[in-house]
């Protein structure tokens, strides 16, 4: 499917929150379901990034001109953290003045091991600091504000992702990572508003993971209804 992009179109792979706290079932503070098995699929996609160490001097043309890694980067007193709501059972929703807040275990605290990208990623942002193809967008750094989308926080402030994609002249995005039922879903809903052209927003279904299986089907239905195309890793490797 990647070969259908028109000549001159710039495509970015967006890897959502491939961090240790989400992907490590043993050490993660807030692991997704079957997160450990996601890394090999992410690496299959990362091997298709052009002008990167994964494709340099290999003769592989690649599918993606750029890869953007989003990164939860919370202060230790973030509003979503259970430590800030000692009388609330974790994974309970509470009512705040401006939104309904899910209280979750403390996770992805800035500079912590859990906030680091998974060590087995083929392209690792902490190693590829000089690459023109590898980019990082951090989010969730305001202690008082929730952020469920990679594009903007819950009150509408930009994370900087759209501005970065504009500077890179990106016209198509391919999404993978976590979480089907939260971050991925909200990001897709924003993405199709920013990139309304048919086929401009694609989601690699087998390279995603989520939290609550009972919500996955509904999330996929919303993603398709919004206009995103569902593809597989195999589709992009053709």
Backbone angles phi, psi at 148, to 5 degrees: -105, -15
- Per-residue pLDDT at 4: 43
Helical spans, DSSP H, in 62-196: 161-167, 183-194
In the chain, where the domains are located: 9-75+108-237
Helix (H, G, I), strand (E, B) or coil at 42: helix
92 HSE (CA, 13 A, CB side):
9
Mean pLDDT of the chain: 91
**Mean local confidence (pLDDT), 190-210:** 97
Domain 9-75+108-237 has CATH 3.30.930.10: no
pLDDT in tens, 27-83: 899 999 999 999 999 999 999 998 655 555 544 457 899 999 999 999 999 999 999
User: Angle 41-3-177 (CA atoms, 0-180°, nearest 5)?
Assistant: 25
Q: Contact at 8 Å (CB) between 208 and 35?
A: no
Looking at residue 1, what is its pLDDT? 40
Structure confidence at residue 132 (pLDDT): 81
Average pLDDT (10-16) is 97
CA 116/CA 110 separation, integer angstroms: 9
What is the value of pTM for the model shown? 0.92
Q: Give the residue-averaged pLDDT of 120-147.
A: 90
CA separation, residue 72 to residues 7, 19, 94, 125 (Å):
34, 8, 21, 14
9 pLDDT band, cuts 50/70/90, is confident
**Residue range 79-97: average pLDDT?**
94
pLDDT tens digits, 158-183? 999 999 999 999 999 999 999 999 99
Predicted local confidence at residue 61, as pLDDT: 55
CA 159 vs. chain centroid, Å, equals 13
Top-confidence residue, 148 or 59: 148
């Amino acid at each position: 499917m990647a070969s259908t992009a028109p000549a001159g179109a710039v495509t970015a792979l967006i890897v959502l929150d491939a961090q240790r706290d989400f992907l490590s079932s043993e050490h993660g503070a807030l692991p997704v379901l079957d997160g450990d098995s996601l890394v090999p699929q992410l690496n299959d996609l990362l091997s298709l990034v052009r002008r990167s160490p994964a494709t340099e001097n290999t003769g592989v043309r690649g599918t993606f001109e750029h890869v953007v890694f989003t990164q939860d980067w919370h202060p230790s007193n973030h509003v979503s953290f259970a430590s800030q709501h000692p009388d609330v059972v974790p994974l309970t929703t509470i009512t705040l003045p401006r939104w309904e807040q899910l209280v979750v275990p403390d996770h992805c605290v800035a500079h912590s091991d859990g906030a680091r990208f998974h060590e087995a990623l083929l392209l690792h942002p902490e190693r590829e600091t000089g690459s023109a193809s590898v980019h990082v967008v951090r989010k969730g750094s305001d202690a008082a504000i929730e952020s469920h989308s990679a594009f903007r926080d819950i009150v509408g402030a930009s994370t900087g992702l759209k501005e970065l994609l504009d500077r890179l002249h990106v016209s198509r995005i391919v999404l993978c990572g976590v979480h089907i039922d939260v971050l991925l879903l909200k990001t897709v809903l924003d993405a199709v508003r920013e990139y309304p052209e048919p086929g401009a927003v694609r989601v690699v279904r087998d390279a995603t993971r989520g939290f609550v299986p009972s919500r996955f089907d509904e999330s996929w239905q919303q993603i398709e209804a919004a206009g995103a195309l569902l593809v597989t890793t195999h589709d992009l490797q053709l």
